[in-house]
Amino acid sequence: MKFIHGVLLLLITTYGIFESVQAQDQSGFISLACGLVPKETTYTEKTTNIKYTSDANYTDSGLVGRINDAYKTQFQQQTWTLRSFPKGERNCYNFNLTANSKYLIRGTFVYGNYDGLNQIPNFDLHIGPNKWTSVILDGVADASIFEMIHVLAQDRLQVCLVKTGETIPFISSLELRPLNNNTYVTQSGSLIMVSRNYFSTTPPFVRYNEDIHDRTWVPYLNNKAVTIRTDLLVDTSNDPYDVPQPVAKTASVPANASQPLTLDWTLDNITALSYIYMHFAEIQNLTDADIREFTITSNGGKIWYSNLRPPKLQMTTVFSQVAMSSPDGKLSFSFTRTGNSTLPPLINGLEIYKVLDLIQLDTGKDEVSAMLSIKITYELTKKVSWKGDPCAPQFYRWEGLNCSYPDSDPPRIISLNLSGSNLTGTITPEISNLTQLIELDLSNNDLSGEIPSFFADMKLLKLINLSGNPSLNSTIPDSLQQKINRKSVTLILSGTVTPKAGSKKVQVVAIAASVAGVIALLVILAIFFVVRRKTAKSANAPGPPPSVTTSIVKSETRSSNPSIMTKERKITYTEVLKMTNNFERVLGKGGFGTVYHGNLDDAEVAVKMLSHSSSQGYKEFKAEVELLLRVHHRHLVGLVGYCDDGDNLALIYEYMANGDLKENMSGKRGGHVLTWENRMQIAVEAAQGLEYLHNGCTPPMVHRDVKTTNILLNERSGAKLADFGLSRSFPIDGECHVSTVVAGTPGYLDPEYYRTNWLSEKSDVYSFGVVLLEIVTNQPVIDKTRERPHISEWVGFMLTKGDIKSIVDPKLMGDYDTNGAWKIVELAMGCLNPSSNQRPTMAHVVMELNECVALENARRKGSEEMYSRGSDDFSRLSSASEFAPGAR
């Protein structure tokens, strides 16, 4: 939740509720006033009696600053100072806590022109390796507060600020509050606060110590409801949510007692899932004849809770057991009295959260501990990139590390290069905790002491480079020497290696000769393949790309390809006939064959039958099955099963109800126009799927046929990348491309790949750039009636006029963020750079698209009267329909 204008931070001194605050138990609280110096300084904030300390012990980077004195009177003391991070892309706060504990985490940001530049920063906030939110401030004297509920996966927590543009990230205060583990339970992910409301105007907000967990409750009123209250104590002892007394003692009822009480709100992300918590207590003195009973319905009449009778002066909480969603992001609840009731419905408190899916797993905790110890041991705090999780996300991986990213498992460190890092002292045993390490380079340092014997116990370690350490004792432990003799590990030293007694003397020159021999062999092989490729090209020089829109690929006969070995998810042709009801319903047709609707185990599926005349041969069929059996990502279409039964080949996918992106852009799916927000979200999700193929798979994969017809949408317009028949793996050990027969679709095909036959992941980046231009313009990729037939040439020509409106789809009627449109067009043109080396990576594309989404969200928030504009706006809301607490 983001609160603007510093409403929650005002120094409230005129309300007696704070004057008699007595300090309660703050055990477990972490309350950091960022930038507070000296670092031993502590103070107690006057309005809440919360004790704040400096953040200096929780981060090893950043500069301290203070907001302009003119703004101090508007905000509480913990926001007067701040810490900014001008160096590095990612800077983090590190907390040692307890795994599986649940915490409320709150970050507060007050710019206050601390740097005298009057330039409001924008940046991202991460929880561990996952993005939490974009920090967008509306003004110099505005405050933004973001709050989430998070369960720790490990014994440590990292909160990171990530630079996304030219401005410098900063933070004013960071607070952690322990919560009961049996509250705010989700099926997956963490909870981002959207709104937490009660129904009174006095006091202006409720926080610690009325709320022992220091949750912030903001008042909400509208002209269709009135507030009732009691001075009696409400029993909250049996309710694990510990609702504070100021919330429990007030309630909202409809102004017209015969009418329902309604609450409506809109989420900024229409695809977001929500959890709702409602708190009820009867606070009126009822007679024997009085009955208060009501039913709660959601989104047009679906019963959410029936026949609720709030207990007298006792708190009870009703909440959603599973996450809720809405096709348009709008949620509505209606409280309607039953036929037995003599009194109108009421509600005392309301909490709304949206789910934050934690897609990126943290690096294995033992490896994180090892890397942090190595960082401390060798005083590597000045390494700018060594902040946050060592491996995740891959875009912010620590310098000198290579990691593996296995499906559904944490990333693991496979290579550590600390060459030339001014290391001194002995080789730390913490390295042995990097159990997946294959290569270790500690060369060109000033290490001393013995070569450790634990190297021999590291089962996967293949290469150790200790050259350039003149003070290091070159005696090799027996156990390691045995592995060297078995050629299971290579050790590189400077000068002569003197083994222990009983071992042969080994000259480094022998190792060098072996390495030189390997290099020579590789050179010979490289020359052979280059000559062979050139011979093949001269024999069959490519002509111009075909004008048809089907995929270009040479097929192979089935006889040259063995059957798919795995029996997992194999389905017979008889079962295919049954699930499709004898191919009753056609979903689509293409060069590969026909796609039919089917049902398998009460789930809808799409069945792609490979035509016998299809250019997509058995090789492509086999490649797609084997890829999808091992690759899983929420933005890649999942393989339910396959049929390899005689001449009958079929792929059974999860059903994507809204068809492909091209259909939706053209209006063939019901004629509705995809909004700019929809388009940005689809672009991000498709990019995430493609980025996973490039960086999350082992080995990495190139899709080779990225296009709008291969981006499918589910019933909630969530995007998934499809059709992996042309996908190819590419090497990860030094070589960045592979020679292969050209395949792809005209218009989307990378011209450099077509010209050279050298395939790399940047070929996908080119194709995705074309997709981005289609999303923005809704123009065909190739249109010979245009002055510039190819979409990239046309957009480039139109850009010379400097008018983005002439490029963006006119069906949007101007309803889009202009800055975001410029940004995505520039990103697309970067993807279409003729030189693959000059194109961005998909990880960078994902980051840029997330910024476009943030810009659109900010525009939408700015164009509406939003709840997040501060609690002082609530009294001006004219109706329940204007209640929109999901905006921030």
Please report which helix (H) or strand (E) contains residue 728, including its range.
strand 728-729
374 band by pLDDT with thresholds 50, 70 and 90 = very high
152-207 pLDDT, tens per residue?
A: 999 999 999 999 989 999 999 999 999 999 999 998 899 999 999 999 878 788 99
Please give the Cα distance from 141 to 68 (Å, whole number): 10
pLDDT > 90 in the chain, percent: 54
Buried b (16+ CB within 10 A) or exposed e, 558-579: eeeeeebeeeeeebebebbeeb
- What is the per-residue pLDDT for 768? 96
Q: Which positions are catalytic?
A: 705
Please report which helix (H) or strand (E) contains residue 439, including its range.
strand 439-441
Strands 463-465 and 490-492: parallel
| Topology alike, domains 227-350 and 659-888 | no
Q: Class assignment of domain 367-504? A: alpha beta
Among residues 131, 117, 134, 141, the alpha carbon closest in space to that of 4 is found at 141
- What is the per-residue pLDDT for 752? 85
617 band by pLDDT with thresholds 50, 70 and 90 = low
In sequence order, what DSSP letters do the residues of 602-656 get, joined into one string? Answer: TEEEEEEEEPTT-SS-HHHHHHHHHHHHH---TTBPPEEEEEEETTEEEEEEE--
Residue 522 has pLDDT above 50, yes or no: no
* Whole-prediction pTM: 0.58
Is 7-179 in CATH node 2.40.128.20?
Answer: no
**Average pLDDT of 485-499?**
74
**Average pLDDT of 226-236?**
96
Q: Show the tokens assigned to 824.
A: 């995505």
3-state class of 321 per DSSP? coil
133-160 pLDDT, tens per residue?
A: 999 898 898 889 999 999 999 999 999 9
Q: Where are the domains of the chain?
A: 7-179, 227-350, 367-504, 548-655, 659-888
638 band by pLDDT with thresholds 50, 70 and 90 = confident
Residue 247 phi/psi, 5° resolution? -80, -45
- Long-range contacts, stretch 10-16, CB < 8 angstroms, 24+ apart: 10/74, 10/75, 10/76, 10/204, 11/46, 11/47, 11/73, 11/74, 11/75, 11/76, 12/47, 12/203, 12/204, 13/46, 13/47, 15/202, 15/203, 15/204
- What is the per-residue pLDDT for 236? 95
Q: Which residues contact 287 (CB under 8 A, 6 or more apart)?
A: none
Which CATH topology does 227-350 take?
Jelly Rolls (2.60.120)
3-state class of 673 per DSSP? coil
Whether residue 720 is annotated as binding a ligand: the answer is no
Residue 545 has pLDDT above 60, yes or no: no
Among residues 850, 853, 704, the alpha carbon closest in space to that of 765 is found at 704
Strands 130-136 and 173-178: unpaired
298 band by pLDDT with thresholds 50, 70 and 90 = very high
Considering the segment(s) 659-888 as one domain, its CATH architecture is Orthogonal Bundle (1.10)
Which residue is associated with the tokens 């390295």?
A: 431
Between residues 647 and 389, the one the model is more confident about: 389
Residue 861 has pLDDT above 90, yes or no: no
587-613 pLDDT, tens per residue?
A: 887 667 788 999 988 889 999 888 765
Query: 16 forms bridges with which residues in the sheet?
Result: none
Among residues 360, 353, 368, 375, the alpha carbon closest in space to that of 272 is found at 353
Residue 526 has pLDDT above 90, yes or no: no
Strands 143-151 and 190-198: antiparallel
Q: Which of 412-421, 617-626, 725-734 has the lowest mean pLDDT?
A: 725-734
Average pLDDT score over the chain:
82
Between residues 814 and 90, the one the model is more confident about: 90
Among residues 164, 367, 187, 264, the alpha carbon closest in space to that of 853 is found at 164
Among residues 62, 49, 52, the alpha carbon closest in space to that of 32 is found at 52
Considering the segment(s) 548-655 as one domain, its CATH architecture is 2-Layer Sandwich (3.30)
